[in-house]
Amino acid sequence: MWNPNSYRDSDYGLSNDERFEPTDKLDDDFAPREGEPFIQTVLGPIAPDEAGVALVREYLQWRPGGLADVQAALTDLEAFFTASGRTIVSATAPDAGRDAHVLLTLAQHAPLHIIGGTGWSIVPSSEFNSRSIEEGIERDITDGMDDTPARPGLVVGSIGADMPPNVVGDALGLLASAQRRFGLPVMVDCGGRDNLKRVLESKLDVEGLIVTGDVVRTQDSAIRIAEGGAFVLVSPLEGINAERDRQAARLVTALVDRGWQHRVLVSHAFTDRSRLNGYGGRPGLSYLVEQFAVMLLESGMHAHDVQQIVIDNAALALSVRGAQQSA
C-alpha cells in the first residue's frame, strides 16, 4: 500500500490548475450514431471520453483461481473507484468462468463501468474448436452473454507458444472475422515470437488490436508491436512492489522515450486471490494508480504521459468502430 514514510511529493509536470483524476462528466443519454465510436459496457454503450481511468485487463471472475465471489469483487471495485478508477474490463472468457449475470449485478451496484469479454482464455490446443468458438462469439454479441442482455465489449484470445501453426491460423482467422463483422477491439495473449509475427501479419486491424503476454515483456518485441500499429499491453503485474514491476515500469518508460506513448497500455491481470482485497489479499485493484503509476513517474515519465496511458489510450483501445451499436 501507499507508504507515507517513503513518499516524496512532486507534481511530475502538472501545473497548479491540473488534476490527474477524471472529472466525472457523464452522459446518461448517450446513444452512438452509426459509425460513431463507443465503448460497450455490460449496461450499454458509453462515449469513449466517459471511461476515465481504466483497467483494460482484469479478472473479476476466474474459475482456475477461484474468483467467483460477488461481495469480494465489489470490495475491490470500491477500492479502485476510491483511487479514481472509473472503468474496468473483466476479460474472462466463457471457458474460464465468465458469468454475465454476476457482471450485471456488479455493474448495477458498483460506481464503475464494467466491460465483459467473449472469446477464449484457457482452451487447450487439442480441444480448440474454431467453429464452436466463433459461434459462441457471435451469439454473445448478437443475443447477449449467458442468456442476459449484456453484450461483450472485447474479444479475447490466447495464442500459446505450444499452439500448432494450423490452430494459430484458425484462431487468428476467427478473431479477424469477429473484429471485421462487429467492430469490437481484440486482445491477444500471445506466447512466443513466432506467434507474435503471425499476429502482426494477420488480417487483424491493428488499430483495434491489443497484444499482451510474456512476449511483450522484452523491449524489442514491445517496440515491434508498437511499430506495427497495435497497442502494447504490459501485464500482468506482480502487485507487491517487486523488481519485476519496476522492470515493467522501465519498459513502459523506454517505449514512451521512443515516441510510442500513444500505443502503450498497462493493467494488473490479477488471477490470484492473494492479490485482491476482497479475498483478504493485497494490494488490490488500486495498485496501478497508487503505486505502479508512481514507479512510472520515478522512472522518468511525465505525468501527462501516465494520464495518456491509463485514460486516453485505454479509451481508444476499447472503442468499438465500424459497426452498429450492439445494445
Tens-place pLDDT, residues 149-207: 999 999 999 999 999 999 999 999 999 999 999 999 999 999 999 999 999 999 999 99
Q: Compute φ and ψ for 241, nearest 5 degrees.
A: 60, 35
Percent of the chain at pLDDT > 70 equals 89
Q: Which residues contact 259 (CB under 8 A, 6 or more apart)?
A: none
Q: Which residues contact 127 (CB under 8 A, 6 or more apart)?
A: none
Contact call for residues 299 and 290 (beta carbons, < 8 A): no
Contact call for residues 54 and 86 (beta carbons, < 8 A): yes
Among the residues of 49-184, which ranges form H helices? Answer: 70-82, 100-109, 130-143, 165-182
What pLDDT was estimated at residue 72? 98
Task: Give the integer Cα–Cα distance in Å for 322 and 36.
Answer: 8
Q: What three-state secondary structure class fits 94?
A: helix
Taking 60 as the threshold, does the pLDDT of residue 147 lie above it?
yes
Q: Which residues pair with 39 in a beta bridge?
A: 46
Task: Give the integer Cα–Cα distance in Å for 61 and 210.
Answer: 21
pTM here is 0.90
Tell me the three cell numbers of residue 53. Answer: 481511468
pLDDT digits (tens, 9 = 90+) for 19-68: 545 554 444 568 888 889 999 999 999 999 999 999 999 999 999 999 99
pLDDT digits (tens, 9 = 90+) for 227-251: 999 999 999 999 986 899 999 999 9
Query: Which of the four pLDDT bands, split at 50, 70 and 90, describes residue 17?
Result: low
What pLDDT was estimated at residue 324? 42
Mean residue pLDDT of the chain comes to 91
For residues 267 and 34, which has the higher predicted lDDT (pLDDT)? 267
Taking 90 as the threshold, does the pLDDT of residue 213 lie above it?
yes
What pLDDT was estimated at residue 323? 54
Task: Give the integer Cα–Cα distance in Å for 259 and 132.
Answer: 41
Other beta carbons within 10 angstroms of residue 323's beta carbon come to: 18
Distances (CA, A) of 97 to 80, 81, 90, 232: 22, 24, 11, 26
What pLDDT was estimated at residue 325? 41
Q: State mean pLDDT over 91-102.
A: 97
Closest to 138 in 3D by CA, of 95, 182, 100, 172: 182
What pLDDT was estimated at residue 16? 55
